[in-house]
Amino acid sequence: MNDLCELTVREAHQLLQQREISSVELTESTLQRIAQTEDKLHACLTVTHDLALEQAADADACLNEGQGKTLTGVPVLVKDLISTAGIRTTCGSTMLENFVPIYDATVIEKLKAQKAVIIGKTNMDEFAMGSSTEHSAFFPTHNPWDLNRVPGGSSGGSAAAVATNQAIYALGSDTGGSIRQPAGFCSVVGLKPTYGRVSRFGLVAFASSLDQIGPLTKDVADSALVMNIIAGHDPKDSTSARQPVPDYTKHLSRDLKGLRIGIPQEYFVEGMQGEVREALETAIHRLQEIGAAIDRRASLPSTKYALAVYYILAPSEASANLARYDGVKYGFSAVNASSAIDATEKTRQLGFGAEVKRRIMLGTYALSAGYYDAYYLKAQKVRTLIREEFDQAFRELDALVTPTSPTLPFTLGEKLEDPLQMYLSDVCTLPINIAGVPAISVPAGFADGLPVGMQIIGKPFDEETILRIAFAYQQATDWHKRKPPLLSG
C-alpha cells in the first residue's frame, strides 16, 4: 500500500471505519511525512506530535466502539490564526510568538466533537496579510512544485502541506484570496464559503467583514465533506447565518446539464500570463464538453475598482482589530519602556512586521476624520455596487468561472519589495470577498511544471452548485492526481 498519508478524507474515513487502518497508523504516517519534507517546505509552525498521537488513540477507541464520524481519526493541519486551546497560535507574528490560547475556535470545537486529530499549525503571512507566506515573521514556506517559488498566501503553509500529504486536509482563512490563491499555486482544492456560512469565532480577526474559514483538500469530495462539519450557525458569531446546512456531498455527482456558467471578461485582466489564459481556455472548453452552457457575455464592470476598495476596507478594519495588541493584555510586551505610551509604542514597533504596519497606517489614514468620507465611505459605496453586479449576474447565471490568480507561482523575493505587485496577485479573488459570495479553486492545468488554478464563483449560500461544477470538472481531468516533484526526489 502507498503511504497512508496519501489518502483523501473520504478514503481514510472508510478504511478507519472498517478498521483496516488505525488512526494511530495514519497519524504516524502524516507525522513522518512532515519529518521528511519540512526541511525543504517549512509549512508548519507547530507540530503537536505527542498530543496528536494521544488524540489518535482516543479516536481509535471511539472507532472500535463503532462510534466513528466523518472526520474521526483523520489528521488535520490548522492555519495558525485559528485559536486552539493549549496549542500556540502565532498568526505568523512576533506579537503572538508565545501566545497559547485558553479557548478553541468554533471550527476546532466542531473538529474535536468529531474526534479529528489535530497534528499542528501551519505557516502564514503575518495576520493573514500577504499573498506569498513570505510575510511570516518566522520563515517563508516553499512551493512543493518548485522550491524556489512561493506557495501563495496567506494560507501558504496549509496549501503546501496538503499538496505534500503532510496532512489529510487543512483549514485556512480567506479575506481576499488567502485560501484560493495558495490552493491554485499548490494544485489543491480550496473553498472560501459564503460570508456567514462558517463561524468566525476564534478566528483571529484581520478584516471582520471579509474573513471566512474554509477547507484546503486533495479533492472536491473532501471539500464537501469538511464543509458538512464546519458550516453552520454559531450563537458566538453574530455574523454567522441561520441558514440550515445542506449535505454538500448530495448533489456532487449530478451532471452539468442545464447549468449556465458565465465567463466575466473583466477577470481576464491585463498583465495576465499567457500560460494562465491558455490553461483556463482549455478548462472552460472542457466544462462545455461535459455539459455546461458557457456564456461569454457576463460582465462585472466594477471589478476594476475591487482592488482599490479592498485596500481601503481591509486595512481600515485591520487597523481597528489590531489595536488590541498593546503589550498589556496578552502577547509580546516590550521591556525597558519609560512610560505606558512608550511601552505601547515599543511593543507595536517590535511586535509587528513591515506589512502589518503598512496596513495599520493605510487603515488609520482612511478612517481619520479628514479622509473618512473620501476613502472609507466611498469604498463602502463601491462595495455595494460590486455586490449588486454579482446579484445581477446571478439572475441569469448559476456560476462564474475565472482564473484563480493572474500569474503562475512567482519566485521567492520577486514581489517582496513591491507591495502593489503583491496585492495584484489577488485581483481575481478579492472581489468575491467584497461581494461575500462563495468560490472554490480547483487544479486546472500546469505550465512549465507549475500549477494553474480555476476559480468557480457561486451565488450566496450556493456552495452546492460550485462544488458540483468543480466535482464534474475534476472527474473529467486528472490534474488533482499529479504529485509535486518534491515527493519523488
Comparing CB distances to ligand GLN, the nearer of 323 and 328 is: 323
- x-or-dash string of contact with ligand GLN, 417-456, rule CB under 6 A: ---------x------------------------------
Binding residues for ligand GLN, rule CB under 6 A, total: 13
Stretch that binds ligand GLN, among 12-20, 171-179, 233-241, 278-286 (CB under 6 A): 171-179
Residues 6, 146, 174, 266: which binds ligand GLN (CB under 6 A)?
A: 174
Q: Decide: 45 and 122 in contact? Cβ < 8 Å.
A: yes
Measured from the CB of residue 433, what is the shortest distance to ligand GLN in angstroms?
7
Comparing CB distances to ligand GLN, the nearer of 183 and 452 is: 183
Q: Decide: 362 and 311 in contact? Cβ < 8 Å.
A: yes
Comparing CB distances to ligand GLN, the nearer of 132 and 344 is: 132
Residue 51 amino acid letter = L
Measured from the CB of residue 41, what is the shortest distance to ligand GLN in angstroms?
20
DSSP string, 326-346: SSSSSS---SS-SSHHHHHHH
From the candidates 22, 23, 29, 79, give the one annotated as an active-site residue. 79
Residue 153 amino acid letter = G
- Give the residue among 467, 441, 484, 469 at the shortest CA–CA distance from 184: 441
Measured from the CB of residue 220, what is the shortest distance to ligand GLN in angstroms?
21
Comparing CB distances to ligand GLN, the nearer of 151 and 262 is: 151
Residue 136 amino acid letter = S
Q: Is 395 exposed, middle or buried (CB count within 10 Å of its CB: 0-12, 13-18, 19+)?
A: exposed
Stretch that binds ligand GLN, among 160-168, 175-183, 215-223, 258-266 (CB under 6 A): 175-183
Stretch that binds ligand GLN, among 88-96, 169-177, 273-281, 470-478 (CB under 6 A): 169-177
Q: Decide: 114 and 71 in contact? Cβ < 8 Å.
A: yes
- Give the residue among 161, 146, 169 at the shortest CA–CA distance from 219: 169
Stretch that binds ligand GLN, among 122-130, 239-247, 378-386, 402-410 (CB under 6 A): 122-130
Measured from the CB of residue 177, what is the shortest distance to ligand GLN in angstroms?
5
Comparing CB distances to ligand GLN, the nearer of 131 and 217 is: 131
Measured from the CB of residue 423, what is the shortest distance to ligand GLN in angstroms?
7
Stretch that binds ligand GLN, among 54-62, 123-131, 320-328, 331-339 (CB under 6 A): 123-131
* Cell numbers that stand for 329 in this block: 493584555
Measured from the CB of residue 333, what is the shortest distance to ligand GLN in angstroms?
26
Beta-carbon contacts of 467 under 8 Å, excluding residues fewer than 6 positions away, are 191, 220, 223, 224, 227, 248, 251, 252, 440
* Cell numbers that stand for 252 in this block: 456532487
Measured from the CB of residue 316, what is the shortest distance to ligand GLN in angstroms?
12
Comparing CB distances to ligand GLN, the nearer of 114 and 425 is: 425
**What's the CA gap between 81 and 96, in Å, rounded?**
10
208 is known as an active-site residue: no
Comparing CB distances to ligand GLN, the nearer of 110 and 359 is: 359
Q: Is 363 exposed, middle or buried (CB count within 10 Å of its CB: 0-12, 13-18, 19+)?
A: buried
From the candidates 29, 158, 178, 405, give the one annotated as an active-site residue. 178
83 is known as an active-site residue: no
Q: Decide: 148 and 178 in contact? Cβ < 8 Å.
A: no
Comparing CB distances to ligand GLN, the nearer of 91 and 256 is: 91
Buried b (16+ CB within 10 A) or exposed e, 138-161: bebbbbbbbbebbbbbbbbbbbbb
Listed in sequence order, the DSSP H helices in 18-97 are: 23-41, 49-64
- x-or-dash string of contact with ligand GLN, 301-330, rule CB under 6 A: -------------x----------------
Measured from the CB of residue 463, what is the shortest distance to ligand GLN in angstroms?
18
Residues β-bridged to residue 411: 149
Comparing CB distances to ligand GLN, the nearer of 90 and 154 is: 154
154 is known as an active-site residue: yes
Beta-carbon contacts of 77 under 8 Å, excluding residues fewer than 6 positions away, are 43, 44, 118, 119, 120, 121, 122, 157, 158, 161, 162, 166, 167, 170, 171
Site for ligand GLN in 124-163 (CB under 6 A): 128-131, 154
Measured from the CB of residue 179, what is the shortest distance to ligand GLN in angstroms?
7
Q: Rg of the chain over CA atoms, in angstroms? A: 21
* Cis peptide bond N-terminal to 154, omega within 30: yes
- x-or-dash string of contact with ligand GLN, 176-215, rule CB under 6 A: xxx---------------------------x---------
At residue 485, the 3 state secondary structure works out as helix
Which residues are the active-site residues?
Answer: 79, 154, 178
Summarize as ranges the residues that interact with ligand GLN (CB under 6 A). 128-131, 154, 174-178, 206, 314, 426
